[in-house]
Amino acid sequence: MKKTMLETVDLVKYFDTKNGIVHAVDHVNLSIPEGETLGVVGESGCGKSTLGRCILNLIPATSGQILFDGKNILERGGKSKDFRQKMQIIFQDPYSSLDPRQTVFNLIAEPLKTNRMGTKAEMREKVEAIMDTVGLAPRLATAYPHELDGGRRQRIGVARALVMDPKFVVCDEPVSALDVSIQAQILNLMMDVQEERGITYMFITHDLSVVKHISHAIAVMYLGEVVELAPKEELFAHPRHPYTKALLSAVPIPDPARRTMERQLIKGEVTSPVDPAPGCRFAPRCPYATPECLSPSLGMTEVGPNHQIRCCHPLD
Ligand SMILES: Nc1ncnc2c1ncn2[C@@H]1O[C@H](COP(=O)(O)OP(=O)(O)O)[C@@H](O)[C@H]1O
Ligand SMILES: [Mg+2]
C-alpha cells in the first residue's frame, strides 16, 4: 500500500457575492497516493482552479481539512513555510505568469531567492540542473520569455515548480494553451519527472483526452462537486455517471469524419453554482433525471472497487 500524500476532507470553498453564495468547491473528498496523479476534470467554472488554490492555501478554505503527508495544513501552528515549499503549482498560461523583464535564469532562480535557499553558487548549480531536467538548453539562461515559444515558456513554469524540490504539484491546465504536438512533449516531461522524483500530481484540465495518459485516477467535477471518482482505466471503460459519459463522448476524435458522428454534445445549460438547489446539480441537463434526483440526501456511493458516483441512476 502506498501512503497517501494529499487528502481533502469535506473541503468547502464558498464565495459570498452580491448574487448569492457561489458553491465553488462543495464538500470535496479526494485522496492521492504518493507518486501518483489524480486528474481533475470538468467544464469551465466547475471549481477546479478554486480546489487547487485552496489545497495550496493560496486562498483560504471555508471549511474542511487538507492533509499533506498526514498533517492538516490548515491548522494553525503548522509549519506553513515547509508546506509551501513542498507543494507547488504550475499555471495554465506561462506567458502571463512570468515577469517579462526577467531572464530565464532569474525566473527559475526566483523561488530559491524568495525562500533563501542556499548560496549564490548553490542556486546557480540548482537552476542549471533543473534547466537540463526540463530540456531548456544552457544558452537560453539569458533569454527573455517573449523570445521563446509556448512549449519552452511552459518548461520554465515546470522548472520554477521543480526547483523547490516539491513532493506535490497542482498542475492547473498546464498544457491547455499549447498546440497538441507541444502538449504531448510537456506531458511526457511531467511523467518522466514524476517517475524520477516520485512527485504526486493533481492535474486539472477541462479536456479528458489530456489526462488519459498522465492520470492514475480521475475525479469528475460538476458545479463544485465531485460526481465520479475512479481509476483511470475504469472511468474510460465503464463511466457510471451520465455526466462522465457525456464528457467522454465529447472527447474530440482525431479522425474528422468520425468526429461529427461521435461527438454527442451535452444538452442544456450549465446551471450556476450560486445557491444550488438540493439534489443532483446535473439533473436539469440529464436525460435520465427523475424526481428522485432532487433528494437532498444524494451523496457519493460505491459502485465498484475505488469507484464512486453521485447519482441515483448509475449507467450499466
Ligand atoms: N474570487 C471569486 N469570487 C467569486 N466567485 C468566484 C471567485 N473565484 C471563482 N469564482 C467562481 O467559482 C466558480 C468556480 O470557478 P473556478 O474554480 O475558476 O472554475 P474552473 O477552474 O473549473 O474553471 C465559478 O462559478 C467562478 O465564477
Ligand atoms: Mg480554472
DSSP result, 165-194: --SEEEEESTTTTS-HHHHHHHHHHHHHHH
What pLDDT shows up at residue 251? Answer: 58
Out of 50, 92, 221, 227, mutate this one to test ligand 1's pocket (max ligand atoms within 8 Å of CB): namely 50
User: Which ligand ends up closest to the CA of 26?
Assistant: 1
Q: Measured in angstroms, how far is the CA atom of residue 113 from the centroid of ligand 1?
A: 31
**Taking the chain (316 residues) in consecutive chunks of 10 residues, what is each chunk's mean pLDDT?**
94 95 97 98 94 95 95 72 86 82 96 91 96 97 95 95 96 92 94 97 94 95 97 96 90 48 48 84 90 89 96 93
Q: How many CB atoms lie within 10 A of CB 48?
A: 24
User: Do you know the residue count of the chain?
Assistant: 316
pTM, entire model: 0.92
Q: How many CB atoms lie within 10 A of CB 8?
A: 23
45 CB within 6 A, ligand 1? yes
Q: Measured in angstroms, how far is the CA atom of residue 43 from the centroid of ligand 1?
A: 12
Quote the CA–CA distance of 9 and 4 in Å, as a whole number: 13
273 CB within 6 A, ligand 1? yes
Nearest atom of ligand 1 to the alpha carbon of 173: 21
Quote the CA–CA distance of 222 and 210 in Å, as a whole number: 18
Q: Which one, of 131, 113, 211, 132, lies nearest residue 171 by Cα?
A: 211
Collapsed DSSP state (helix, strand, coil) of residue 108? helix
| Amino acid occupying residue 178 | L
Quote the CA–CA distance of 51 and 12 in Å, as a whole number: 9
Cα radius of gyration rounded to whole Å, the chain: 20
Quote the CA–CA distance of 37 and 204 in Å, as a whole number: 10
The set of cell numbers assigned to 7 is 487528502
Quote the CA–CA distance of 43 and 272 in Å, as a whole number: 12
Q: Measured in angstroms, how far is the CA atom of residue 247 from the centroid of ligand 1?
A: 20
Chain-centroid distance of CA 114 in Å reads 25
Could you tell me the end-to-end alpha-carbon distance of the chain, in angstroms, rounded to an integer? 30
92 CB within 6 A, ligand 1? no
Residues 6+ apart with CB under 8 A from 196: none
What pLDDT shows up at residue 268? Answer: 56
What pLDDT shows up at residue 265? Answer: 45
Task: List, as one string, the DSSP characters of 289-302.
Answer: --GGGG-TT---EE
20 CB within 6 A, ligand 1? no
Contacts 24+ apart (CB under 8 A), 284-287: 285/243, 286/242, 286/243, 287/242
Quote the CA–CA distance of 4 and 306 in Å, as a whole number: 14
Collapsed DSSP state (helix, strand, coil) of residue 141? helix
What pLDDT shows up at residue 261? Answer: 35
Q: How many CB atoms lie within 10 A of CB 224?
A: 24
What pLDDT shows up at residue 2? Answer: 87
Tell me the backbone φ, ψ of residue 202, rounded to 5 degrees.
-110, 115
| Amino acid occupying residue 65 | Q
Contacts 24+ apart (CB under 8 A), 263-268: none
Nearest atom of ligand 1 to the alpha carbon of 172: 21
